[in-house]
Amino acid sequence: MSRQQSINSSQTAASATAQSPLSRSFKATGEDVWKRTEKINAELFTLTYGAIVSQLCTDYGRDFTKINEQLFQMGYSIGVRLIEDFLARTALPRCQDMQETSEALSKCAFKVFLNITPRVTNWSSTKDTFSLIIDENPLSDFVELPMDAMEQLWYSNVLCGVLKGALEMVQLDCDVFFVSDILRGDQQTELRVKLNKVLKDEIPIGED
Amino acid sequence: MNGYTVGENGTNSGMTEQHQFQLFEESLRKVNKLVFQMLINEIIPLSMSVERKLEKSNDEEVSSNMSKLDVNEDSNTTNLLKDIVPSNQLIHDLLDTKDEDKYNKVIDRVRNIGFQVGNKLSELLIFTNNPNLQFKDMDILLIMKFVCRDVWKQLYGKQIDNLKTNHRGTFYLFDYDYPPIREFCIEENALKKELKLVEPFLEFPVGIIKGVLASLGYPPEQVICLATFVDRPNNDIPDTSFAKGISFHIQITTQNNQ
Amino acid sequence: MAIESILIINKSGGLIYQRNFSESFASKLNSNDFLIIASTIHSVFAITSQITPKALQITQNNVDYVIPYIPMVGMENSNPQQNRNSNVPVKLGSYKGPDFFKEPFISWNKSGLRQLSTDQFTMYIYQTMTGLKFVALSSNVLSNNAGTTMTGSIDRTKAVNIASQVADNFLRKIYCLYGDYVMKDPFYSMEMPIKSELFDKAVKRMVNNLL
């Protein structure tokens, strides 16, 4: 594929010394864009999100299934809008497979918006499902959950919604969900992204 | 009514302290301002969405209690979106609601979220040893200056433009360029209906102010806070901003607190 | 490059934004004309994409889609005459200046219509990964006389390329404004016409800086 080669060659030129040219490029883009955006204190963000979750707990009388759903929907509404800003800022080319998508999410998207780079791991054998391990989660810093919430609440579920909405806008139909969370007493916070299908009919004409 | 300029540096503290505080602020962890903006934009539609769902589930409970059985622990996340309503639609629905009780419930929810933010935020600001704060002799005027300067700066990256008081518990805080609504689309000759759409968004900062005051000894039942649109005093605000300024009218109902 | 008109077309071919910036041919068209133009562009774009690959196979098989970064296109300081208040920091919404981006980038539009030249105007199209099309109509035309000699024809190709690169830089910045203004307006309904005055003003400023 000639197009593929031309993309790769331009990126190799920019990062001749790196082991993986593409991943180096995501990293550089993410860091560069992060530097050039306006920022606020992470703690302010944390406590605002905390206030929203705690209000939902009051409203839904600790029906955590409903809270998870509400957070997911809020995330989705954010994601479908945030993706346009993300693409305008980064101008990332379309990812050729989920491996590239995972790198773009971790090194670019999470970096640009939350200043973290989750680890990508736990690939399925079909290479269409992976996990993001979030070590430092700015949504849940210093948060402790009561016992009943620990069993059912996905505190940071807004992230799943954001990814769901954003990926859908670039024609990737995915399921995005948490499988574990430090807040629940788990070893790590693991977010799973599973590709259902590429919405080929919706990819804008003219990309290839 | 006396006018105060809020913009000056704390006169009691030296420049080095200010500088150190600034360096400290810069060293704190940050996130992209845009995600914060997106999050607070969603507070109104979220509160409306909750209201609709609570109404709906009340109706359903009367008809059947069977729905509790479906365990939603599977990984199909598309299901979670089956009843989603676009955020802009929810905001319009809130405006169009004829049910005053329902409207107030949504607004209360927004205020509560703001209240919790304000409450925790003032703790946060006090813990960071801001040299502007001397809590030994903190009277209500100093607290208001704290809101105008430190709280606003932390939240919105700017200070309140003007603070007025009658020294009897009434305060007016003017923000002529309130940042969270800068990008809101209102047509030039701002129609009443469109300003009404923006009004709920002012309840979040109202909640914040009440939350900050509560954390410093003025419980919510002693504080009235109302936000209204005002015209700008002059035209030096860039034309890339929302058409109106905001006035926060704060009334402390009980004097000699504590 | 003098911009006469800007259009934004959503992924289904609907016109969601259109503004004229001068009293030119574009201002003689009414809103209905522009709706038709938008859906025509949408269709022609798709047709172009259908016929492009074959044309490419014949001429060259390794096309470079990288758009070079052209500094400060459409920015406040790009025009020396307007540089009087240069000590006032330029406000770029949530972007930290002086420019929206500063790296070369790869065009998402690989086989669709990118540029249409007539002896009246030139049209440039920038398409995003989400399927939005940003269209600029410019009154600049490249003189045909330049093509009479061998070197003239090379110069002309060069000029066409540069103009197209400037347009891509410029239209990506309009996309940045779209992300920063339109997407932050909670009243905006996705895929629907943009009514934001602030977006309007920001676009207008950028167009004026380009003169």
Q: Give the separation between CA B190 and CA A98, rounded to whole angstroms.
A: 47
- Superfamily of B31-57+85-252 according to CATH: Trafficking protein particle complex subunit 3 (3.30.1380.20)
Helix (H) or strand (E) holding B26: helix B15-27
More confidently predicted of C28 and A54? A54
Question: Does the pLDDT of residue C171 top 60, yes or no?
Answer: yes
Which CATH number fits the domain that encloses residue A193?
A: 3.30.1380.20
Q: Is B77 touching A (CB cutoff 8 A)?
A: yes
SS3 A133: strand
Q: Kindly indicate the confidence band of residue B67, based on its pLDDT and cuts at 50, 70 and 90.
A: very low
Residue A196 pLDDT exceeds 80:
yes
**8 A C-beta contact, residue C186 and residue A74:** no
Confidence category of residue C111, pLDDT binned at 50, 70, 90: confident
Chain-chain contact of C180 with A85 (C-beta, under 8 angstroms): yes
* Distance (Å) from the alpha carbon of A207 to chain B's nearest alpha carbon: 27
Q: Which CATH architecture has domain C3-202?
A: 2-Layer Sandwich (3.30)
Peptide bond into A118 cis (omega under 30): no
pLDDT at B217 over 90: no
User: Does residue A9 belong to the interface with chain B, where contact is any CB pair within 8 Å?
Assistant: no
Specify the pLDDT at position B130.
65
- Whether C130 sits inside 8 A of A204 (CB atoms) is yes
Q: Please report residues of B whose CB lies closer than 8 A to that of C184.
A: 34, 37-38, 41, 183
CA dihedral C180, C101, A13, A205 (to 10 degrees): 40
Distance (Å, whole) CA A106 – CA B249: 45
Q: Is the pTM of this model over 0.80?
A: yes
Interchain contact, C190 vs B185, CB within 8 Å:
no
Contact A177, A87 (CB under 8 A): no
The minimal CB distance from A73 to the residues B33, B36, B84 is found for: B84
- C158 falls in which pLDDT band (50, 70, 90)? confident
List the single residue in C106, C127, C180 with the smallest CB-CB distance to A93. Answer: C106
Asked if B87's CB is within 8 angstroms of A45's CB, the reply is no
At which residue do the structure tokens 């998402």 appear? C108
| Nearest chain B residue to A161, by CA | B77
Contact yes or no for B35/A81 (Cβ under 8 A): no
Q: What is the pLDDT of residue C65?
A: 81
The verdict on residue A2 lying in a domain is no
The interface pTM score, or ipTM, of the predicted complex is 0.88
The answer to the question of residue A13 being in a domain is: no
Residue predicted with more confidence, C162 or A131? A131
Task: Looking at the complex, report in whole angstroms how far the Cα of residue C124 sits from the nearest Cα belonging to chain A.
Answer: 14
The helix (run of H) or strand (run of E) holding residue B165 is strand B162-165
Give yes or no for residue B191 having a pLDDT over 50: yes
Task: Please answer yes or no on whether C96 and A38 come within 8 Å at the CB atom.
Answer: yes
Domain membership of residue A113 (yes or no) is: yes
Domain total for chain A? 1
Region of A171 on the Ramachandran plot (φ > 0 left; ψ -120 to 50 alpha; else beta): left
Query: CB contact, 8 Å: B191 with chain A?
Result: no
pLDDT for B111 beyond 80: yes
B248, B206 Cβ separation under 8 angstroms: yes
Q: Which of C52, C106, C133, C185 to mutate to test the interface with A (most CBs of A within 10 A)?
A: C106
On whether the CB atoms of residues B165 and B141 are closer than 8 A, the answer is: yes
Position C87 pLDDT exceeds 60: no
Query: What pLDDT, on the 0 to 100 scale, is given for residue C155?
Result: 77
Q: pLDDT band for position B189 (50/70/90)?
A: low
Give the per-residue pLDDT at B56: 86
Decide if C198 and B188 are in contact by the 8 Å CB cutoff.
no
User: Domain range spanning residue A115?
Assistant: 22-34+41-199
Quick check: B76 pLDDT over 70? yes
Which contacts of B224-228 are long-range, i.e. CB under 8 A and separated by 24 or more positions? Answer: B224/B249, B224/B250, B224/B251, B224/B253, B225/B249, B225/B250, B225/B251, B227/B199, B227/B202, B227/B203
Q: Bigger pLDDT: C105 or B17?
A: C105
Mean pLDDT in residue range C81-92: 54
pLDDT at B129: 61
Q: What is the mean pLDDT of chain C?
A: 84
- Confidence category of residue B65, pLDDT binned at 50, 70, 90: very low
- Cβ contacts of C185 on chain B, cutoff 8 Å: 183-185
Q: Are strands A129-133 and A119-121 parallel, antiparallel or unpaired?
A: antiparallel
Please tell me the predicted confidence (pLDDT) of residue B60: 72
Task: State the first-to-last Cα distance of chain C, in angstroms, to the nearest integer.
Answer: 6
Distance between CA atoms of C8 and C15, rounded to whole angstroms?
6
C-beta atoms of C129 and A32 within 8 A? no
Provide the token pair at C67. Answer: 């758009």
pLDDT at position B194 is 79
What whole-number distance in Å separates Cα of residue A175 and Cα of residue A193?
Answer: 6
**B92 vs A190, residue with greater confidence:** A190
Residues of C in contact with B37 (CB under 8 A): 94, 184
- Express as a percent the part of chain C with pLDDT over 90: 43
pLDDT at B24 over 90: no
Contact C51/A at CB under 8 A: no
Close Cβ partners of B26 (under 8 Å, ≥ 6 residues apart)? none
| Residue C70 pLDDT exceeds 50 | yes
Task: Answer yes or no: do C62 and A202 touch at CB < 8 A.
Answer: no
Q: Which residue in C91, C196, C202 is closest to B185 by CB distance?
A: C196
- pLDDT at residue number C150: 58
**Long-range contacts (CB closer than 8 Å, 24 or more residues apart) made by A1-8:** A2/C61, A2/C62, A2/C63, A3/A208, A3/C63, A3/C65, A3/C110, A4/A96, A5/C62, A6/C62, A6/C63, A6/C64, A6/C65, A6/C66, A7/A93, A7/C65, A7/C106
Contact A91 C105 (CB under 8 A): yes
Model confidence pLDDT, tens digit, residues B141-179: 989 999 999 999 999 989 999 999 988 889 999 999 898
> Using the 8-state DSSP alphabet, how is residue C101 labeled?
-
Least confident range of B64-68, B80-84, C139-143, C207-211: B64-68
Cα–Cα dist B242/B232, whole Å? 11
Q: Residue B256: pLDDT above 60? A: no
